[in-house]
Structure formats: structure tokens, C-alpha cells
Amino acid sequence: MIKKKKATVKGVDVSALNQRQQTAMKNHSKHHTKKHIMSMVSDMKKGATFGQSHKKAMKKVGK
């Protein structure tokens, strides 16, 4: 049985996001903390766009 490798960014599982979102999160993570990334991924899994989740994360946890 072959296990699919989980996609992670700063230790946060982003495999539930589509490929475009995963790439965006990887580039985005260079400028933001793990806490910020976790907040964004959580919102994006619930259906928020990248921009919406970023704005919410900035307000909630900062950079």
C-alpha cells in the first residue's frame, strides 16, 4: 500500500486545499507565522477565498 505524502506548509497540513491554493500558501508562508497560516488554512477549508482568509487572519492573529 502506497501512502500519499501529506502536503504541509510550516507544519500545517494543506492537503485539503487544491493545488493552486497549496502553491499560494507555500509562497505566502515566507512572510507569515505558523499561527497565521493555520488560521488561513482553517478558513479556506470552510470555503473562504485566499483574500478573505488572509484578511481575517491578519485581524485575528496578525503577521
State pLDDT tens for residues 34-63. 999 999 999 999 999 999 999 999 999 999
Domain that holds residue 37: 18-60
10: in domain? no
The whole-angstrom separation of Cα 48 and Cα 43 is 6
24: in domain? yes
The total domain count for the chain is: 1
11: in domain? no
37: in domain? yes
7: in domain? no
φ, ψ (nearest 5 deg) of residue 13: -70, 120
User: Is the model's pTM score more than 0.85?
Assistant: yes
